[in-house]
């Protein structure tokens, strides 16, 4: 993640309506775990249930605050603003009591989606919010006809990699020296909608 930082220009902010999150019902798989996180203890261990919604450009200052805590190199407010002008871009937030505690930016072109940026405020990490945000967004994308979701992740980002792998992302390649701050390699991860859906299927009442 962190590759395409330029943004594209297009006419108007395309995502100004905030939609409430669907309730998330864990599904079961052979290991007894589910892609919404951990095991059955998760529902008691993790209190926060964020509302996942599309954001508008007025959220840029809050997003920039989070960006500073999450990424190197940091996306400038201008780069974040550009995402709201890009017809291919969707900017999602996870809100708790109205406050944005995490965000995810994804570009969608036809039936492929690429996640460009994803982060949770420092003080809200490890509480299941990142997983809920990621799963909810992918769920919506798949509903809209996306077949493949890709992203780049630092090879050393073991927390993010564990999350992605638990959802069904698999390694699809590598970009050597991709990150400009330290020359670190990026792994390209890819999620097939079919594999995501098969993990979601059992026990999901929707
Ligand atoms: C990666 C990130 C978005 C995860 O968000 P989060 O809300 O902290 O993650 P969650 O609490 O939902 O945990 C999701 C999974 O991540 C992994 N994880 C979370 N915290 C972890 C930790 N401290 N150690 C190891 N794994 C951890 C676990 O697999 C966890 O699933 P489980 O608890 O159900 O087993 C967050 O850590 C972050 O913002 N990091 C900085 C920015 C970043 O790296 N973004 C991704 C760029 S590719």
pLDDT digits (tens, 9 = 90+) for 15-58: 333 433 433 333 333 344 556 655 433 444 556 899 999 999 99
Which whole number is the average pLDDT over 128-148?
97
Residue 155 Cβ < 6 Å to ligand 1: no
Domains present along the chain, CATH in parentheses: 46-201 (3.40.630.30)
The model's pLDDT over 71-98, given as tens digits with 9 standing for 90+, comes to: 999 999 999 999 999 999 999 999 999 9
Q: How many residues does the chain have?
A: 206
Q: How far is CA 110 from CA 83, 113, 128, 149, in A?
A: 18, 8, 30, 12
Which residue lies with its CA nearest to atom 9 of ligand 1? 130
| 126 three-class SS | coil
Under a CB-based contact definition with an 8 Å cutoff, are residues 168 and 140 in contact?
no
pTM: 0.84
Note the pLDDT of residue 37.
59
What is the signed CA dihedral for 70, 18, 202, 188, rounded to 10 degrees?
Answer: -30
Which atom of ligand 1 is nearest the CA belonging to 152?
Answer: 48
Note the pLDDT of residue 1.
80
Q: Which of 74, 93, 131 maximizes ligand 1 atoms within 8 Å of its Cβ, making it the mutation to test the pocket?
A: 131
d(CA 111, CA 192): 11
Under a CB-based contact definition with an 8 Å cutoff, are residues 175 and 25 in contact?
no
- Give the range among 18-27, 117-126, 172-181, 186-195 with minimum mean pLDDT: 18-27
Note the pLDDT of residue 202.
62
- The residues annotated with a catalytic role in the active site are 152, 164
Under a CB-based contact definition with an 8 Å cutoff, are residues 154 and 179 in contact?
yes
Under a CB-based contact definition with an 8 Å cutoff, are residues 24 and 34 in contact?
no
Give the distance (Å) from ligand 1 centre to CA of residue 103. Answer: 13
Cα 103 to chain centroid, rounded:
7
d(CA 116, CA 36): 21
| 41 three-class SS | coil
Phi, psi of 25, deg, nearest 5: -110, 120
């Amino acid at each position: 993640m962190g590759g395409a930082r330029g943004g594209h220009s297009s006419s108007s902010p395309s995502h100004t309506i905030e939609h409430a999150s669907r309730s998330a019902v864990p599904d079961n798989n052979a290991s007894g775990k589910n892609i919404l996180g951990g095991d059955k203890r998760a529902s008691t261990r993790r209190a926060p249930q964020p509302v996942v919604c599309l954001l508008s450009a007025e959220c840029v200052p809050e997003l920039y605050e989070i960006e500073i805590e999450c990424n190197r190199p940091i996306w400038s407010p201008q780069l974040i603003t550009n995402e709201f002008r890009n017809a291919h871009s969707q900017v999602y937030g996870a809100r708790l009591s109205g406050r944005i505690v995490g965000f995810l930016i994804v570009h969608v072109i036809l039936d492929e989606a690429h996640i460009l940026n994803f982060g949770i405020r420092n003080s809200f990490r490890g509480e299941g919010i990142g997983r809920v945000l990621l799963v909810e967004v992918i769920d919506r994308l798949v509903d809209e006809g996306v077949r493949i979701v890709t992203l780049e992740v630092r090879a050393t980002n073991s927390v993010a990699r564990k999350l992605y792998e638990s959802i069904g992302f698999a390694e699809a390649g590598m970009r050597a020296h991709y990150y400009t701050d330290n020359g670190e390699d990026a792994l390209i991860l890819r999620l097939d909608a079919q594999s995501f859906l098969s993990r979601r299927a059992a026990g999901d009442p929707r």
